[in-house]
């Protein structure tokens, strides 16, 4: 049985990963769990899966007393200790932000497979991850689709396409300044956290995914396209020099890509509950280009990728702050990409050679956005 450690187990991706483990209980055992400050339900997860190790940002003596068979860690190095003590075969990194960066590097350096669901780590710290690229499996459906194709091909891609559902504003024709938080968070397909749902509406999630794809698959920006596909059934396509195109289809459910990653390099023999698409039922598939005037974020992200160095790190941090400001009703929806672009314009780039470089660029970008807002 594969031993799995899940970091961010009480979040959306973490809970979905545990659903997959339940479906395939004969193949996986949970050896480590970690949650953030909002860890409601963490005790129930420990009771069900009996992990060897668990991590929280701060001590919780009541949990430690109740689950004496589990070794608890807290503090800044808690995740790394879980990697060391539980010795997983696979680490699922699903903690938002850069909290899990050091633990990711630790797991990779010890030869673990890391199923990466945290975009921020890839975008902000890719030069540090690069030596272990072969051990990183993408959990996002779009990159997972591209990975499934390229990992089993002997020919490199001519170009790739990642798809976008379009988010809550796909058909919105009104003034972007008047968009409400409630409108933005009403995603028609995916049920996700607030931050990623806003990213889906601005299409910054696709800009960030374009950067991820360039890093993960060693592609230049001009070889990566983004197409709006509101049905969210085709997750990614790869085009080859002989004119053929391969695509990956599934229902819009993260369990598919997570099950693929956990089972890698084999496919799961069976996974009850994950059904194939039934094309005998009426299904229409539509694709259209992104309107970059109404949704400038993918273009801004492409520029950050092409500039390189610490620009992607700044893009990620500036976007996080701008989205938070929108959710706090301090800026309008259309102001999000404006702040990000201005932060990039102010940025003095540097090379990313250490965790400290990442944190410094990240902090300066956040400070820059707040300064711009004040100005």
CA dihedral 19, 259, 320, 34 (to 10 degrees): 50
Domains of the chain (ranges plus CATH)? 2-117 (3.40.50.720), 144-254+286-374 (1.10.1740.10)
Please tell me whether residue 321 adopts helix, strand or coil conformation.
helix
- Interatomic CA distance for residues 88 and 198, integer angstroms: 33
pLDDT at 155: 85
- Interatomic CA distance for residues 77 and 16, integer angstroms: 25
Which residues fall within 8 angstroms of residue 34, CB to CB, at 6 or more apart? 5, 6, 7, 8, 9, 54, 55, 56, 78, 79, 82, 95
pLDDT tens for the 375 residues of the chain, in order: 899 999 999 999 999 999 999 999 989 999 999 998 888 899 999 999 999 999 999 988 999 999 999 999 999 999 999 999 999 999 999 999 999 999 999 999 999 999 999 999 999 999 999 999 999 999 999 999 999 999 988 888 999 999 998 887 877 888 888 888 888 888 777 667 788 889 989 999 999 999 999 999 999 999 999 999 988 999 999 999 999 999 999 989 999 999 999 999 988 776 677 888 888 775 789 999 998 888 999 999 999 999 999 999 999 999 999 999 999 999 999 999 999 999 999 999 999 999 999 999 999 999 999 999 875
The closest of 92, 97, 87, 80 to 36, measured between CA atoms, is: 97
pLDDT at 176: 83
pLDDT at 242: 93
Residue 54 pairs with which residues in a beta bridge?
Answer: 33, 72
Stated pTM of the model: 0.92
pLDDT at 354: 96
Spatial contact of 21 and 12, defined as CB atoms under 8 Å apart: no
Which residues fall within 8 angstroms of residue 168, CB to CB, at 6 or more apart? 183, 184, 185, 186, 187, 188, 197, 200, 201
pLDDT at 212: 97
């Amino acid at each position: 049985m594969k031993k799995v450690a899940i970091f961010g187990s009480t979040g959306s991706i973490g809970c979905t990963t545990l659903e997959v483990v339940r479906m395939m209980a004969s193949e996986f055992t949970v050896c480590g769990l970690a949650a953030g400050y909002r860890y409601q339900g963490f005790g129930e997860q420990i009771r069900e899966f009996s992990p060897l190790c668990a991590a929280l940002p701060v001590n919780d003596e009541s949990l430690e007393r109740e689950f004496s068979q589990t070794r608890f860690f807290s503090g800044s190095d808690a995740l790394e200790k879980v990697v060391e003590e539980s010795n997983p075969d696979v680490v699922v990194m699903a903690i938002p932000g850069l909290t899990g960066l050091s633990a990711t590097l630790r797991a990779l350096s010890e030869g673990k497979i890391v199923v990466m669901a945290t975009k921020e780590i890839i975008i902000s710290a890719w030069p540090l991850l690069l030596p272990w690229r072969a051990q990183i499996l993408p959990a996002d459906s779009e990159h997972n689709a591209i990975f499934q194709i390229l990992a089993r091909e002997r020919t490199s891609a001519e170009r790739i396409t990642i798809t976008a559902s379009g988010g809550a504003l796909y058909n919105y024709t009104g003034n972007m300044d008047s968009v409400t938080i409630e409108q933005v968070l009403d995603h028609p397909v995916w049920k996700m956290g607030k931050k990623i749902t806003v990213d889906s509406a601005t299409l910054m999630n696709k800009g960030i995914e374009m950067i991820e794809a360039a890093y993960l698959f060693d592609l230049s920006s001009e070889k990566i396209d983004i197409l709006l596909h509101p049905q969210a059934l085709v997750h990614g396509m790869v085009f080859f020099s002989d004119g053929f195109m391969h695509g990956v289809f599934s229902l819009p459910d993260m369990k598919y890509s997570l099950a693929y990653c956990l089972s890698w390099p084999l496919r799961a023999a069976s996974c009850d509950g994950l059904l194939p698409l039934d094309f005998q039922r009426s299904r229409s598939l539509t694709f259209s280009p992104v309107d970059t005037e109404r949704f400038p974020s993918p273009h801004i992200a492409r520029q950050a990728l092409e500039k390189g160095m610490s620009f992607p790190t700044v893009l990620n941090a500036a976007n996080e702050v701008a989205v938070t400001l929108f959710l706090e009703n301090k800026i309008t929806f259309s102001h999000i990409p404006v702040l990000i672009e201005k932060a990039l314009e102010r940025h003095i780039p540097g090379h990313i050679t250490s965790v400290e470089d990442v944190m410094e660029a990240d902090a300066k970008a956040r400070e820059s956005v707040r300064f711009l807002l004040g100005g």
